[in-house]
Amino acid sequence: MSTTPVPLTDYEASYRDARSPLEQPEYVFWAPPARIPRGADQNRWKERSANWPISYHYSSLCAAAYERLNGPVAPTLRPLTQDQVRAMALELGARDFGVTTVDPRHVFRGCIVAERYAIAIGLDENPAEIDKAPALETNDEVMRVYYELGEIAIKLAAFIRAHGYPARAHHPLGSGDILIIPHAIAAGLGELGKHGSVLHATHGALVRLALVTTDLELAVDGPRDRGLADVCTRCKACERACPPGAISNEKQDVRGSVRYIVDFERCLPYFLENYGCAICIKVCPWNKPNFARAVLQQYAERQGRPPSESTRRLSAELEAGIRDDP
Ligand code: SF4
Ligand code: SF4
């Protein structure tokens, strides 16, 4: 695997050289309470979740893990290839792996991420538990996956540092320094769904994500358009299922990129009262591997041709929010 260094973009150059002001994201939630408008709500969630044994167990382990996100770098450089890093990530339990460069537009205001590359890793949730949403069992499962994914990222970063290269983990629970989703999309792990979560070709919306940033020279993967988000233009499943109507069919300009955005002012009150909700994740048809395969095949086939009868039928089903396997 080639590890040709990627030239600096203008954005990166200005960020690295002058720390010039950029339009960077602000914390919305899962951040120091004093830094967010809904800090009191976050504290109330924390108090309530202390009575949920499994969720509390995993969130406590996550909180303790924050001390291990970074650590000393071995003084002597040892050769380390991209294939070795990928193999280690998969051995540790990651289900997917991709590489991009750190994009300062997706680093939170006031934070510095000095490393050059971002490794995105993904881990899937158990659909049987997500299907119960909104429920405590669903939140337990989300917390379990956040914990396990955080451990994979921490161990992968330690593995890279042991070879003499700076590397630090960015935990999936808590806002950290950097937005994970745009980097995971840029690294080819999936596409942005209307519900604000990544659509993964195998695990649909059930994939959760973490990052490791590093100065180990890596080859970048780049985003992949498999037509997954194309379905969002016709599907209304998450939009219709969202109890407070927080999911919009209209894309908006967010810091220079036109994309779907969830209205957090509507989502959060319901989310906080209903064990972290996840209804929009539950109803996403991409969670069904057979469904995904069928649509992908049709997407490929219909390039340059009028839509087939089966594609029209599928579109009608998506429109109605039906999520049974085809
Ligand atoms: S988590 Fe629940 S409330 Fe929030 S966008 Fe999804 S369905 Fe709507
Ligand atoms: S439920 Fe439908 S509209 Fe929502 S993200 Fe999934 S495919 Fe897109």
- What is the secondary structure of 256-295 as a DSSP string? TEEE--B-HHHHHHHHHHTTT--HHHHT-GGGSHHHHHHH
Predicted confidence at residue 325, as pLDDT, reads 38
Q: For the residues 13-41, what does the mean pLDDT come to?
A: 70
Q: Is 248 domain-assigned? A: yes
Supply the mean pLDDT for the chain. 86
195 within ligand 2 shell (Cβ under 6 A): yes
Please give the number of the atom of ligand 2 that sits closest to the Cα of 280: 1
- Of 188, 214, 240, the residue at which a domain comes to its end is 214
- What is the number of other CB atoms lying within 10 angstroms of the CB of residue 189? 26
Rounded distance between C-alpha atoms, residue 319 and residue 237, angstroms? 7
Q: Are residues 100 and 202 in the same domain?
A: yes
Secondary structure (3-state) at 122 = strand
d(CA 170, CA 179): 9
Domain for residue 224, yes or no? no
Specify whether 189 is located in the same domain as 150: yes
- Residue 326 pLDDT greater than 50, yes or no: no
- Asked whether residue 206 falls in the same domain as residue 129, the answer is yes
Query: Looking at ligand 1, which residue's alpha carbon is closest to its atom 8?
Result: 242
Does ligand 2 lie within 6 Å of residue 207's CB atom?
no
**One domain for residues 54 and 170:** yes
User: Is the domain of 75 the same as that of 138?
Assistant: yes
Among 232, 262, 267, say which to mutate for ligand 2: greatest number of ligand atoms within 8 Å of CB. 232
Residue 41 has a pLDDT of 87
Q: Which amino acid is at 65?
A: A
Among candidate residues 214, 245, 279, the one where a domain is terminated? 214
161 & 247 share domain: no
Atom of ligand 1 nearest to the CA of 247: 5
Domain stop point among 214, 240, 256: 214
Q: Is residue 324 part of a domain?
A: no
Picking from 240, 69, 235, 253, the residue whose alpha carbon sits closest to that of residue 161 is: 69
| Gap between the Cα atoms of 110 and 112, Å rounded | 7
Residue 167 beta carbon below 6 angstroms from any ligand 1 atom: no
Q: pLDDT band at residue 305, thresholds of 50, 70 and 90?
A: low
Would you say 210 and 169 are in contact if contact means Cβ atoms under 8 Å apart? yes
Q: Ligand 2 centroid to 134 CA: how many Å?
A: 18
Ligand sitting nearest the alpha carbon of 245: 1
198, 250: one domain = no
pLDDT at 323 over 80: no
Q: What share of the chain is helix, strand, coil (3-state, %, to 5)?
A: 45, 15, 45
Domain count, the chain: 2
For ligand 2, the distance from its centroid to the CA atom of residue 290, given in whole angstroms, is: 16
Cα distances from 301 to residues 60, 190, 319, in angstroms, run 48, 20, 21
Per the domain annotation, does 221 fall within a domain?
no
Q: Please name the residue whose Cα sits nearest to atom 6 of ligand 2.
A: 284
Name the more confident of 54 and 261. Answer: 54
What pTM does this model have? 0.86
How many angstroms separate the CA atoms of 171 and 143, rounded?
12
The burial class, CB within 10 Å (0-12 / 13-18 / 19+), for 71 is middle
With respect to residue 77, please indicate whether it lies within any of the assigned structural domains. Answer: yes
What is d(CA 217, CA 126) in angstroms, rounded to the nearest whole number? 34
In a domain, 279, yes or no: yes
Can you give the pLDDT at residue 200? 92
Render pLDDT for 159-180 as a digit per residue (tens, 0 to 9).
999 999 999 999 999 868 999 9
Range of the domain at 283: 229-319
Ligand 1 pocket test, pick from 267, 268, 273, 281 with the greatest ligand atom count within 8 Å of Cβ, gives 267
Backbone Cα Rg of the chain:
20
In terms of domains, do 82 and 156 share one? Answer: yes
Contact 283, 318 (CB under 8 A): no
Token pair recorded at residue 264: 């957090």
Q: Is the CB of 282 under 6 A from ligand 2?
A: no
- Report the percent of the chain where pLDDT is more than 90: 60
Same domain, 30 and 131: yes
pLDDT tens digits along 57-90: 999 999 999 999 999 999 999 999 999 999 999 9
pLDDT at 208: 98
> pLDDT at residue 322 above 90?
no
What is the structure's pLDDT at 16? 46
Query: Is residue 205 classed as helix, strand or coil in its secondary structure?
Result: coil
Name the packing angle between helices 136-161 and 82-92 (round to 10°). Answer: 150
Interval 192-242: pLDDT, tens: 999 999 999 889 999 999 999 999 999 999 998 888 898 898 889 999 999
pLDDT tens digit sequence for 118-131:
999 999 999 999 99
Q: Are 203 and 259 found together in one domain?
A: no
Is residue 222 in some structural domain?
no
Residues 31 and 128 in one domain: yes
Domain co-membership, 23 together with 119: yes
User: H helices of 70-135, where?
Assistant: 82-92, 127-130
Tell me what pLDDT residue 15 has: 47
Instruction: List the residue whose alpha carbon is closest to atom 3 of ligand 1.
Output: 267
Nearest ligand 1 atom to the CA of 266 is 3
Per the domain annotation, does 187 fall within a domain? yes
